[in-house]
Structure 1
């Protein structure tokens, strides 16, 4: 989803979601219409509401919305400063996992969780 423009994503999601219970919401405002056309930016404080109304992942939408305002370096700085602090060992594990993946890292399967637990336990025994 990151490679898709936020405008295209919002238009696609808006078309995919039925208009059953969205009347009188932010999705009906002139501002939202301007956002969908690319004439305005999605305010960061509206991301969670929009994600709920469009039934999409709020974290991914927030990431797209951040890219309207900030470059990748600034976003990376925010993530480092605001995220739960990781030890250098945890950062190394994450680096290994991310470098082993060809693209976005998928949600771990049951087998992957077992494997990581087994690896972590053997690390302490070595």
Structure 2
């Protein structure tokens, strides 16, 4: 059973890595991503996305670059995966709410759509946003 999922398969980071590799498959192979991230063993990505291994914190920046994602967001996912609640709390205290590059895009669009009126989150607005994501 080589495809059996590991103990970290349900972690946000494993799910995120798996999804991002699928999104990039039209332009990069998994081997190319692993090489760009500095992994000598290209199977490391399989181990990460299947939850057999945790992402070493010192590899967050290089993997984020290889996956073309926000490194701050990936660091938060990696800290959560490591179960390091103290570091996660310090991270949040020092940096506050981390906003990824994609979330900045959403905020920019929201400001544009609302003419910078600082709209409150209404029941209708919440429902509309949740429906976009199928919830």
TM-score (norm 1): 0.55
For residue 62 of structure 2, the aligned residue among 29, 37, 49 is 49
The answer for the alignment partner of 1:64 in structure 2 is 77
- What stretches of structure 1 move > 2 A for 4+ residues in a row? 70-74, 77-80, 104-112
For residue 18 of structure 2, the aligned residue among 8, 11, 25 is 11
Segments of 5+ residues of structure 2 without an aligned counterpart are 1-10, 98-102, 119-135
Of Structure 1 and Structure 2, which has the larger fraction of its residues in helix? 1
TM-score (norm 2): 0.52
Segments of 5+ residues of structure 1 without an aligned counterpart are 85-93, 99-103, 116-126
What's the Cα RMSD here? 3.6
Q: Which has the larger radius of gyration?
A: 1
Equivalent residue runs for 1:1-126 within 5 Å: 5-17=12-24, 18-19=27-28, 22=32, 25=35, 26=39, 29-80=42-93, 83=94, 107=107, 109=111
Aligned residue pairs total 93
